[in-house]
Amino acid sequence: MKHKTGLEDYYVIRNQKKMRFGYTTGSCAAAACKGAVTMLLGGKQISEVELMTPKGILLHLELEEITKGQGYVSCAIRKDAGDDPDTTNGILVFARAEKRDIPGIVIDGGVGVGRVTKPGLSQRVGEAAINPVPKAMILRSAEEAADRFSYEGGMKITISVPEGVEIAKKTFNPRLGIVGGISILGTSGIVEPMSEKALVESIRVEMKQHASQGEEYLLVTPGNYGADYLREHMKLPFEKNIKCSNYVGETIDMAVDMGVKGILFVAHIGKFVKVAAGIMNTHSHSADGRMEILAANAIRAGADIACARKILNAGTTDEALDILQENQILMPAMKEIMERIQFYLNHRSYEQILLGAVLFNNTYGYLGQTRDAAELIRLISEKENRECRTIMETK
């Protein structure tokens, strides 16, 4: 009988087919950690663990490759990506738990987990490439198991993915300055299958719903970063934002087709800088060129060749922005980029609708906006104010 993980009733329908949910490398690492610590402190072998994911789905995961030694236990969880195409599907994610004399719980990466070598990522240089949410999940799993056995001593948790060394060569990790393995990822703990065609169709459905409610000017964010910035820093109706993922071009095409009058994009520069070169699908599999775009526009803004070369060698847009700031041309370079984003947005729509963008990053915040962004902000704000007045008058 096949082991039940708790995801049996979670699926989406794509092209009349059921597509199963899966779980992330972060969930694998946290569950393996829970198993290793439980066996280390409890002294008994167990075959599975429960893990509550940030998404609120409780997983029941089998432990594999259990080994015990003097003062340590190691075990693994096999990654299941469901029906989502994923290079890490089926790999084993290991956690080794060992006692330490020093108080506190230390989490590190072993074989197959990348090591950060360049600034600009969520981990510091020298740290293992374990993203913040998975790291918090691993820590919570260790603490829960320690509390169960009233253990107050120190502990070291090492996450390793033996197959990660080879898998990482197929990813962008080396370009980001992450060497030696993959990153441990996943903000929700769950992998939801989503084909490109289905994702674009879901954007169309949501856009049509907004347009049918009389929204002539749409507020669009590529993802969670844009949505968070919109909610926290802009006086616009956050609840009306539509997420377009990487599909900037398709979103514009659909808006034109539906008779929408305009779109304001609120986006992190890490994705949207690509639009300054006419790249309308911002997924890294389709195109990158971020550093080339930033370097070219830095030169337009007056940067010398040495500055441009540093930007070209940067691993992240955040690092590139720091270089621009050090050379005192951040805002002039952003002005150049905004002009080109405006040009290519208009080019995509053949200037049939009003388009604009507001860009930011997590270090400097607001970086600039395109020429028509101010008019779109005004139009969206006026519509929202009219609706608020109508609601108040009917009460």
The pLDDT score that the predictor gives to residue 342 is 98
Phi-psi region of 214 (alpha: psi -120 to 50; beta: other; left: phi over 0): left
Could you give the CA distance from residue 97 to residue 110 in angstroms, rounded to a whole number?
A: 12
User: How many other CB atoms are found less than 10 A from the CB of residue 161?
Assistant: 28
Structure tokens at 274: 């690509």
Distances in Å between the Cα of 337 and the Cα atoms of 125, 289, 362 are 29, 13, 18
- Torsion sign across C-alpha atoms 332, 333, 334, 340: positive
pLDDT in tens, 239-268: 899 999 899 999 999 999 999 999 999 999
How many secondary structure helices (H) and strands (E) does the chain include? 13, 20
Confidence label for 375 from pLDDT (cuts 50, 70 and 90): very high
How distant is the alpha carbon of residue 51 from its chain centre?
22
What's the rounded Cα separation, in Å, for the pair 167 and 190? 20
Which pairing describes strands 217-221 and 262-268: parallel, antiparallel, or unpaired?
parallel
Give tens-digit pLDDT for 173-227. Answer: 887 789 999 999 988 999 887 657 767 877 887 888 888 888 999 999 998 889 9
How does residue 286 score in pLDDT terms, banded at 50, 70 and 90? confident
Rg of the chain (C-alpha set): 24
